[in-house]
Structure 1
Amino acid sequence: MTEEDTSTRIERAGSASARRKRSTLLFFRDLLVIFVVAVLVSFLIKTFLIRSFFIPSASMEQTLVQDDRIIVNQLVPDLAPIQHGDVVVFEDPGGWLPARVDPSQPPLIAAFDWFLAFVGLSAPDSNDHLVKRVIGMPGDHVVCCNALGQMSVNGVPLDEPYVALPPGTTKVSELDFDVTVPDDSLWVMGDNRYNSKDSRYNGGTPLEGFVPVDNVVGRAFVVSWPVSHWAWLDNYPGVFAGVEEAAG
């Protein structure tokens, strides 16, 4: 083998090595671009379209069980209207939730949790929000209870199949009330009626138990986790049929 042949082989080997190195760099560059795009898309979806929350209490059983994860449509109420029977997530109107101190975390775990929350894969602020069902809309007259133990909205008695009551109980609320919902506000209640600190129990707060529409983060539309609990969340339009017409 001549010196020229040896030199040619060395050049070819060096060229092949350079190509492999360049291919590896391009692969990692493309991987990084895909990761960044995925993070940005997840952030935009979480910020403007949907986001995940977990259920911190038993107040919505059996519709939602504690520690369930739900997906929330954030286009409600800004672009899509709230309706009677919707399950909504909302910020504390003031005085509904006790003061809470966030537990300290190691910096690495805290950073990881922050990243998951940033892309919408976790919801560390779930404990700062509440999940209830909309019973009264602005202007509605909500009364409980009639002789059959039913609640009525605008004089229309409600037959509520989603309500969980203690055995032997037919009255849908242990507390009687008679309220008219102010403009731009909601009257909300938990499905687990005898274990829900909802609008009925917060009459002593500054807003007297009513929830401003502006506090609504969105409408929950599906239980996403665990898989065994997967379900679409119904707003039971048949239950509230005639309520809006009765409002006149």
Structure 2
Amino acid sequence: MLRELPLIAVVAVVIALVLKTFLVQVFVIPSGSMEQTLQIGDRVLVDKLTPWFGNEPSRGDVVVFKDPGGWLEPDHKPSSDGPAMRRVKGVLSAAGLLPSEDERDLIKRVIGVAGDTVECCDAQGKLSVNGKPLDEPYLAAGNDPSKLTFKVTVPAGRLWVMGDHRDISADSRYHMANPGSGTIPVEDVVGRAFVVAWPLSHFRQLEVPDSLSSLPTRAAGESGAVRPDPAEPPLVMGVLGVLPALARRRRASRGT
């Protein structure tokens, strides 16, 4: 049994590595920018599988993404670990069992997707998407939707993201001078956080608020037109349905 332990350990690390790379990865929340939804030290499970099938983040999703450039301050803090401990941590980080010290990732909530116009604030002091004011129950207590005023249309292939603790979150609003006017590339998204896994007292699923999930979609480049509801019959089908009736009426008028 003891001789099999190294093999079991190697298999466990390989399985963990595959899970981290293609399925689910654990991330640690380092700051209060997503309070009260996520607390400092929370461990969240991030779905990395669905992006492999071409699914893009939706409004309201909490996503982990790579630093698009200039969002994070350089970390020059030296490690106090010895060479052996650094190697052990490197193996565990590669397997997803520990957070990597080299990864430069952020976590925010998606507010706008390609084609959306995101604006703050309206006459009622609310954030709006495509002219519709949002109810934001996830905001940290006492926070306004935004102390900065802005209006931006999200380009194709990009996302507008904001933290739930708006007063301290250096999100898309603070990077509007960057390429993309503060938006981030969809390709930089690592995955969607879907569960707070630790501590157990915080365990819960991360839901998408109705105020964001119920908004109609808009294609990038459209000037205010929204896409038709998939539940409604397309116009072409309606025309095809009318044509046979018109033909029958025409034959009846000819006496055929």
Per the shorter chain, which TM-score range? 0.7 to 0.9
- C-alpha distance in 2 between matches for 1:85 and 1:201: 20
Ranges of 4+ aligned residues in structure 1 off by more than 3 Å: 237-240, 245-248
Provide the identity percentage.
48
Counterpart of 1:57 in structure 2 is: 31
Larger radius of gyration: 1
- C-alpha distance in 1 between matches for 2:210 and 2:51: 18
- 1:42 corresponds to which letter in structure 2? A
Counterpart of 2:184 in structure 1 is: 211
Q: In the alignment, does 2:66 pair up with 1:91?
A: yes
Counterpart of 2:195 in structure 1 is: 222
Which stretch has the larger CA shift, 120-129 or 39-48? 120-129
Pick from 129, 134, 137 the counterpart of residue 105 of structure 2. 129
Is the partner of 1:77 in helix, strand or coil?
A: helix
CA apart distance, 1:82? 1.2
RMSD (Å) for aligned C-alpha atoms: 1.8
| Pairing of 1:84-233 with structure 2 (within 5 A) | 84-104=59-79, 105-125=81-101, 128-166=104-142, 171-233=144-206
- 1:76·1:82 contact (CA, 8 Å) conserved in 2? no
Give the direction of change, closer, same or farther, for the CA distance of 1:107–1:34 in structure 2 (3 Å limit).
same
TM-score between both structures, scaled by the size of structure 2? 0.80
- 1:93·1:211 contact (CA, 8 Å) conserved in 2? yes
Which stretch has the larger CA shift, 92-101 or 123-132? 123-132
- Say how many residue pairs are matched: 219
CA apart distance, 1:109? 1.4
- 1:163 corresponds to which letter in structure 2? L
CA apart distance, 1:160? 0.9
Counterpart of 1:240 in structure 2 is: 213
Partner deviation per Cα, 1:4-45 (whole Å, 9 max, x = no partner): xxxxxxxxxxxxxxxxxxxxxxx2343333222111111100
- C-alpha distance in 2 between matches for 1:225 and 1:85: 22
- C-alpha distance in 2 between matches for 1:193 and 1:247: 28
Give the direction of change, closer, same or farther, for the CA distance of 1:137–1:100 in structure 2 (3 Å limit).
same
CA apart distance, 1:193? 1.0
- 1:162 corresponds to which letter in structure 2? Y
TM-score between both structures, scaled by the size of structure 1? 0.82
Give the direction of change, closer, same or farther, for the CA distance of 1:220–1:125 in structure 2 (3 Å limit).
farther
Pick from 10, 26, 36 the counterpart of residue 10 of structure 2. 36
Show structure 1 runs of 5+ residues with no match: 1-26
Show structure 2 runs of 5+ residues with no match: 219-224, 228-256
